[in-house]
Amino acid sequence: MKSPIIQLPKAELHLHIEGTLEPELILELAARNNITLPFPTLETLREQYEFSDLQSFLNLYYANMAVLITEADFADMTRAYLRRAQASGVRHAEIMFDPQAHVARGVALTTVVNGIASALASSVADFGISAGLIAAFLRDESEESALEILEALLTMDAPIIGIGLDSAEVGNPPSKFIRLFKRAGEAGLRLTAHAGEEGPPSYVEDALNLLGVERIDHGIRAVEDRILVKRLVAEQIPLTVCPLSNVRLRAVDTLAAHPLPQMLSAGLNVCVNSDDPAYFGGYVGANFDAMVAEFQWDAATLETLAGNSIRSSFASSARKDELLGELAAWSAAQG
């Protein structure tokens, strides 16, 4: 590969904006809002970033959200992500946020949405990144709570393109959220859900069959079920894979043991994403760099992955064509 990964035009489809809060920004916002954190210095905060599973990460992720209070806080966090995404060669980003986690802390939904949306409104002009916003619902909360927030988002005409499903997966199957996804689909929203990160392959199947999702976030445990893999290949269901996240949350033992190469050769529609980059050791460029170092991916493999990310996005066909054109130019320059 001749050029650095930043030059590979790509879309990021699996990104939690709250997971982009870097420790430095956490402390800055805590000071700005007069909030006392349990880990008030960079050193003590950084010591918390060792995770044993998804839940151990979620505990810190939700605790750190306490510093997000005003529209400006949400806007600053979002702009900081876009700046880093630009440095990773991201040209289109679909960004999840967790409305329930903020409303539960007493932050108004309009504060959250307006703050993030104000940064996204100028992301093409500021960073050359087209962007869409996805409201992700917490699967360890009730469906009623999710439906209430969805209705509020629809009533306020929030600029969201879709909904997702995240948080603690095991024990919270897709079947819990059938009415939520039905309502969102009827409202014209695009549908995605986390499945097969820690949960079994049957959750991937249920997300497709019961929720009608168009994409699966993670989906790595699908490889345990040959029949499911056959279906995912046949239907080219996008799987938004996050290699560094999977290692840090111990969904896989090591990067060398990551199933992504196997998924690629099976013909699955996979792409590379960062999930919660401030917590897992890097943005999407770092995820690509780590995989290239581990698996010696060639230019053709990188083109496949970037092409999958662009084609699997919820961008307009005009924007997809534009980015696929940029990707073709990148490919030609690789010789």
Task: Give which of 114, 158, 93, 126 is closest to 314, Cα–Cα.
Answer: 93
Is 275 near ligand HPA (CB under 6 A)?
A: yes
Is 194 near ligand HPA (CB under 6 A)?
A: yes
Measured from the CB atom, the residue of 73 and 275 that comes closer to Zn ion is: 275
Site for Zn ion (CB under 5 A): which residue of 275, 277, 279, 302? 275
Q: Please say whether the beta carbons of 108 and 69 come within 8 A.
A: no
Given ligand HPA, Zn ion, none, residue 167, with its beta carbon under 5 to 8 Å by kind, binds ligand HPA
Tally of CB atoms within 10 A around 262: 12
Q: Rounded distance, CA 288 to CA 297, Å?
A: 9
Provide the minimum distance between the beta carbon of 116 and Zn ion in the complex, in angstroms, as a whole number: 16
Residue nearest Zn ion (C-beta atom): 275
Is 18 near Zn ion (CB under 5 A)?
A: no
Is 71 near Zn ion (CB under 5 A)?
A: no
Rg (CA), the chain: 19
Given Zn ion, ligand HPA, none, residue 197, with its beta carbon under 5 to 8 Å by kind, binds ligand HPA
- 40-59 footprint of ligand HPA as x/- string (CB under 6 A): --------------x-----
Given Zn ion, ligand HPA, none, residue 12, with its beta carbon under 5 to 8 Å by kind, binds none
Is 16 near ligand HPA (CB under 6 A)?
A: yes
Q: Please say whether the beta carbons of 137 and 151 come within 8 A.
A: no
Is 197 near ligand HPA (CB under 6 A)?
A: yes
Q: Please say whether the beta carbons of 183 and 147 come within 8 A.
A: yes
Provide the minimum distance between the beta carbon of 129 and ligand HPA in the complex, in angstroms, as a whole number: 21
Active site includes 197? yes
Quick one: which H or E segment has residue 77?
Answer: helix 71-86
Is 205 near Zn ion (CB under 5 A)?
A: no
Site for ligand HPA (CB under 6 A): which residue of 86, 130, 167, 240? 167
Q: Rounded distance, CA 130 to CA 94, Å?
A: 9
Q: Rounded distance, CA 319 to CA 75, Å?
A: 24
Q: Rounded distance, CA 220 to CA 290, Å?
A: 18
Q: Rounded distance, CA 124 to CA 120, Å?
A: 8
Measured from the CB atom, the residue of 206 and 276 that comes closer to ligand HPA is: 276
Give the active site residues. Answer: 197
